Amino acid sequence: MRIPFIAGNWKMNTTATQAEELVQNMLDRLDKIEDVEKVLCPPFVSLVTVKELLKGSSIKLGAQNMHFEIKGAYTGEISPLMLSELCEFVILGHSERRGYFGETDEIVNKKIKAALQNKLKPILCVGERLEENEAGRTKTVIGRQLSQGLKNIEPTHNLVVAYEPIWAIGSGKAASGEQAAVTIRFIRDTLVKLWNKEIAQDLRILYGGSVTSHNITEFISQPEIDGALVGGSSLKAGDFLDIANQAAAIKHRHLSSPLKGEE
């Protein structure tokens, strides 16, 4: 069974002082949650602070974005080489980067290549807009994002995929567990075609988009959904702890249940 993956994307929230307080409010309890990979993705300015706080714990650290060049005259940008000394994961292709900052599939592809070359594990985000969903183009859009985003990249286990329907992000309107599972099943099938069945079955595929402590069970209970990329709820220590705890509880439930045909 794939180990559940719960990541908190803090987006452009928290000062370094607030980030320190947020981590301290959940560090001990989050560290004790087993059978779930837990990742915090604070703003760049807090990576060093949070890294020190997480030292010696089971909690991993991720960044929210990066440039694809190693260094150079790119004022204001952060390179994969800089991140490689600080964190293990990096979110790439988030819809807010695509929508607000014009990131194309080609740019996302360059970033994924650069991340992997610098020993970072990308969390690749894919998802469709509301009008694309309503027009029945979800699979077309996500298929393109995957094929272009992973173009000329060798199969690797060092990747996580997050399905984030854009119409659900920050809207309070999450997809249903069944809706998300259908799309995530398509993502896994697409990865089989792009790479191979073994890698596709091993990779964690998450759901993201208005995930809360009230609906996480609906998603994580679906066999195809391996966890969540959590936005607003990751800024509340109690909510994020509850989400991680529920993921761990469902993991244990699955492990303790006999497989079909073995009852």
What number does CATH give the domain 5-256?
3.20.20.70
Q: How far is CA 27 from CA 5, 19, 101, 167, 231, in A?
A: 17, 12, 33, 32, 18
More confident residue, 247 or 258: 247
Instruction: Report d(CA 229, CA 41) in Å as an integer.
Output: 10
Mean pLDDT of the chain: 94
% of the chain at pLDDT higher than 70: 95
- Residue 151: phi and psi, rounded to 5, are -60, 130
pLDDT band, residue 261 (cuts 50/70/90): very low
pLDDT band, residue 195 (cuts 50/70/90): very high
Q: Which residues are catalytic?
A: 94, 164
pTM greater than the 0.85 cutoff: yes
Q: Are 108 and 149 in contact (CB under 8 A)?
A: yes
Interval 92-109 mean pLDDT? 97
Residue 255's pLDDT is: 57
% of the chain at pLDDT higher than 90: 89
Q: Does the pLDDT value for residue 258 go beyond 70? A: no
- Residue 126: phi and psi, rounded to 5, are -135, 155
Q: Does the pLDDT value for residue 15 go beyond 80? A: yes
Q: Does the pLDDT value for residue 254 go beyond 70? A: no
Q: Does the pLDDT value for residue 173 go beyond 80? A: no
Interval 115-126 mean pLDDT? 98
More confident residue, 173 or 115: 115
DSSP code string of 122-177: EEEEE---HHHHHTT-HHHHHHHHHHHHTTT----SS-EEEE--GGGTTTS-PPPH
Residue 207: beta bridge partners? 163, 228
Residue 167's pLDDT is: 84
Instruction: Report d(CA 88, CA 83) in Å as an integer.
Output: 8
pLDDT band, residue 168 (cuts 50/70/90): confident
Residue 151's pLDDT is: 98
Interval 68-79 mean pLDDT? 98
pLDDT digits (tens, 9 = 90+) for 134-155: 899 999 999 999 999 999 999 9
Q: Does the pLDDT value for residue 41 go beyond 70? A: yes
Q: How far is CA 187 from CA 92, 93, 224, in A?
A: 17, 15, 10
Cβ contacts of residue 148 below 8 Å, gap of 6+? 105, 106, 108, 109
Please report, for the chain, the start and end positions of each structural domain, with discontinuous segments joined by +. 5-256
More confident residue, 123 or 1: 123
Residue 171's pLDDT is: 67
Least confident residue range of 129-133, 169-173, 241-245: 169-173
